[in-house]
Amino acid sequence: MHLQAQITFETKVSKKRLGLNERLRVDFEMNENGDNFNPPSFTNFQVVSGPQQSVSRSWINGVRSFSKTYTYFLTPITKGKITLGQAEITIEGEVYKTLPVEIEVTEAVEKPNDPNNIDYITDENIRLVAEISDANPYLNEGITVVYKLYFRNPISITDVQEMESPSFGDFWSQMINIGRVQVNPRGNYNGEQFNEVVWRKVVLYPQKTGPLEIEPLTLNLSLSVPTNQRDLFGRQIPVQSQKVITTGKKRINVKTLPLTDQPAEFSGAVGQFDFDVIIDKSALKASESFQVKVKVNGNGNLKLFNLPQINVPKTLEVYEPEHQEEVKVTLSGMQGSVEDVYTIVPQFQGKYPIPAVQFSYFDPKSATYKTLRSQDLLVDVFDGPVAIGSQGTPNAQKLKQNLQVSENAFRFIQLQTKLIPITTPEFWWSVAFWLLLGIPFIFLIAGYLIKRLIIQKPENISLTKQRKAEQLSKKYLSSAKKAIHNQTAFYEALERALHNYLKAKLKIETTEMSKPNIKNLLVEKKVQVQTAQEFIECIENCERARYAPGSMVNIQSDFEKASTSIASLDRQL
């Protein structure tokens, strides 16, 4: 009871006495948020604008303050004493009513409402509206909502903050990017010229039927409003003001799709569409693949329905379809195409039909269902095995009819057996049994020892030397790269790398490192003469750089040449 006593809901008017040519501002103000607002009938008044909804929230010293106001601007149409009736609102489940207010209307006055009143100026010159393309759409029919802010002189807006963003819980929604906000100075609202700002655009597809609500957009505006005060230079001094303005909740009524004449294959498509089934090959070999594309394109809820499935013979191997979408969303709704791409692999030759597929959709413009049918397709599979007796083979039924089985065909199968029990288990414990069982193991152990001690030992020594030479070659080639700015150290390391590489590949010692001998060994290993000569030239370049320091050298070129030469020898050896 104490909480209810704190709730207030009252009517405030700009004046209780006005002329016939003046406007009356009426505010229905509450200090708690309410729903189901029901204004009075405004008998003997003409509603110029409204309701305009504004919300104010604040925290001062830890104390919460809330105010919500519905504002109307009225013009009287008769003189005398007029009573504004009661307005109603539901707050926390309780219905609250305002007290009636009596207004006296006199003869027309020479000077109507004070044009210098800031509230009057802002209320007269600012509007926030939500323009809905269709308030009575069908289920899954696209509609657009464009939020527009209108203002005009003498108001100028210095800043805008979005306090409440609309939510679209009962809709599939898609925001449309409007880029940078721009002011159109030639906007039109109710036949009057305003500055127009398109604040937001959204495309909605209702997912439920019946009355649905679109939540309000609420903006907090920072305004600059001129006053009658002037500075030393005669210019008007503006005053800064804040105003919260909202579109209020919008309601639409979503119609149910008609059940009469609804096709059985209808899957929820609403709009205007084209439909086709396309194959990329009409003739192919067995075990090759081809693709069947089920495609729908047009304008409508392209992302909100399932495509029809194809039906093919069982002898074709069909993989799960790949779903592809090329859809863009504009103020006209979704536009583009969606498709399922099936990959199919035939196993046997033959002619395989792909039956026609039907696709049904509801056209909201004509309020009728339409059904599209694809063409019958035929795939010719040749050069492959024949499926004997399969359903896809034309002669399968004939083969089944001509196949006759003789009654004596399976007489050779012995249906009765003669089993003799084993009564003499002496063999399992005899010397012959254990000898036969152990001989294979003895041969395995002997073979392992012979290979390990006699054959592999020399080879292991040779492999060990070969691995060490390869490691040294890599090491010295790496050392040469590090010493690329020191000529003497570079060519010493490079020459050692080349020699160690030869030791690893040709299994030769340092005493056999003469250039003619190296060349002969490489040719014997079936290395191309040119490749062998290039390797010899690398060695000669190293010797020339080491023992003739004044000669012209190119360290980078020699390093790359040595690396390329080693790589060429590796491939040929």
Torsion of CA 324, 328, 334, 338, to 10 degrees: -10
Determine how many CB atoms are found less than 10 A away from the CB of residue 275: 22
Q: What is the pTM of this model?
A: 0.52
**pLDDT tens, 230-267?**
666 767 677 887 787 888 889 999 999 999 999 999 99
DSSP characters over 204-259: EEE-S-EEEEEPPPEEEEEEEEEEEEE-TTS-EEEEEEEEEEE---EEEEEBPPP-
CATH class for the region spanning 2-113: mainly beta
- pLDDT at position 455 is 67
Cis before 154 (ω within 30): yes
Measure the CA–CA gap between 12 and 87, rounded to whole angstroms.
Answer: 12
Pairing state between β 350-354 and 377-382 = antiparallel
**Which one is predicted more confidently, 74 or 272?**
272
Residue 1: the pLDDT is 34
- 362 backbone dihedrals φ, ψ, rounded to 5°: -105, 125
Question: Residue length, the chain?
Answer: 573
DSSP β-bridge partners for residue 189:
192
Distance CA 498, CA 485 (A): 19
Bond into 185 cis (ω within 30): no
pLDDT per residue as tens digits for the range 512-562:
677 788 878 888 878 888 888 888 888 888 877 777 665 556 778 888 888
Q: Are strands 192-206 and 183-189 parallel, antiparallel or unpaired?
A: antiparallel
% of residues, the chain, pLDDT over 90: 31
The domain spans of the chain are: 2-113, 121-254, 271-382, 461-572
Task: State the chain's mean pLDDT as an integer.
Answer: 82
Residue 49 has pLDDT above 80, yes or no: no
Helix (H), strand (E) at residue 297: strand 290-300
Burial status of residue 408 (CB atoms within 10 A of its CB: 0-12, 13-18, 19 or more): exposed
Comparing 218 with 458, the larger pLDDT belongs to 218
Decide which of 411 and 122 is more confident. Answer: 122
Residue 400 has pLDDT above 50, yes or no: no
| Chain segment 151-201, per-residue pLDDT in tens | 988 888 888 988 888 888 899 999 998 888 889 988 999 888 899 999 999
Band the pLDDT of 394: cuts 50, 70, 90. very low
**C-alpha torsion sign, points 364, 366, 367, 370:** negative
Same fold, 2-113 and 461-572: no
Q: Is residue 268 over pLDDT 90? A: yes
Per-residue confidence (pLDDT) for residue 391, from 0 to 100: 46
Interacting residues of 485 by C-beta distance below 8 A, sequence separation 6+: none
Residues 6+ apart with CB under 8 A from 511: none
Distances (CA, A) of 366 to 40, 363, 370, 558: 40, 6, 10, 82
Q: How far apart are CA 132 and CA 166, in angstroms?
A: 14
Structure tokens at 490: 């570079």
How far is 346 from 384, CA to CA, in rounded Å?
9
Q: Is the pLDDT of residue 109 over 80?
A: no
The reported pLDDT for the residue numbered 423 is 61
Residue 72 has φ and ψ, to the nearest 5°, of -125, 145
pLDDT at 281 over 60: yes
What is the Cα–Cα distance from 558 to 536, expressed in whole angstroms?
12
| Confidence check: pLDDT of 126 > 70 | yes
Name the most confidently modeled range: 23-27, 224-228, 382-386: 23-27
pLDDT digits (tens, 9 = 90+) for 336-388: 999 999 999 998 888 999 999 999 999 999 999 999 999 999 999 987 788 76
Compute the distance between CA of residue 260 and CA of residue 559 in angstroms, rounded to an integer. 85
Tokens 């009573």 -> residue: 83
* pLDDT for 6: 82
Please name the fold of domain 271-382.
Answer: Immunoglobulin-like (2.60.40)
pLDDT value of residue 2: 39
Instruction: Estimate to the nearest angstrom the gap between the alpha carbon of 455 and the chain centroid.
Output: 65
pLDDT over threshold 90, residue 124 = no
> How far is 101 from 25, CA to CA, in rounded Å?
13
CATH topology of domain 461-572: Four Helix Bundle (Hemerythrin (Met), subunit A) (1.20.120)
Q: Give the pLDDT confidence of 282-331 residue by residue, as tens digits.
A: 899 887 899 999 999 999 999 999 999 999 888 888 999 999 999 999 98
CB 296 within 8 A of CB 307: yes
Of 99-108, 129-138, 403-412, the range with the lowest mean pLDDT is 403-412
Q: How confident is the model at residue 510 (pLDDT cuts 50, 70, 90)?
A: low
How much is the pLDDT for 393?
Answer: 46
pLDDT in tens, 191-208: 888 999 999 999 999 999
Q: Which range has the top average pLDDT, 363-377, 425-439, 503-517?
A: 363-377
Residue 310 contacts residue 265 (beta carbons within 8 Å): no
**pLDDT greater at residue 402 or residue 152:** 152
Task: Name the least confident of 26-30, 371-375, 469-473, 502-506.
Answer: 469-473
Residue 461: pLDDT band (50, 70, 90) is: low
* Amino acid (1-letter code) at residue 73: F
The confidence band for 460, taking pLDDT boundaries of 50, 70 and 90, is low
Q: Provide DSSP, 35-60.
A: EEEE----TTEEEEEEEEEEEEEEEE
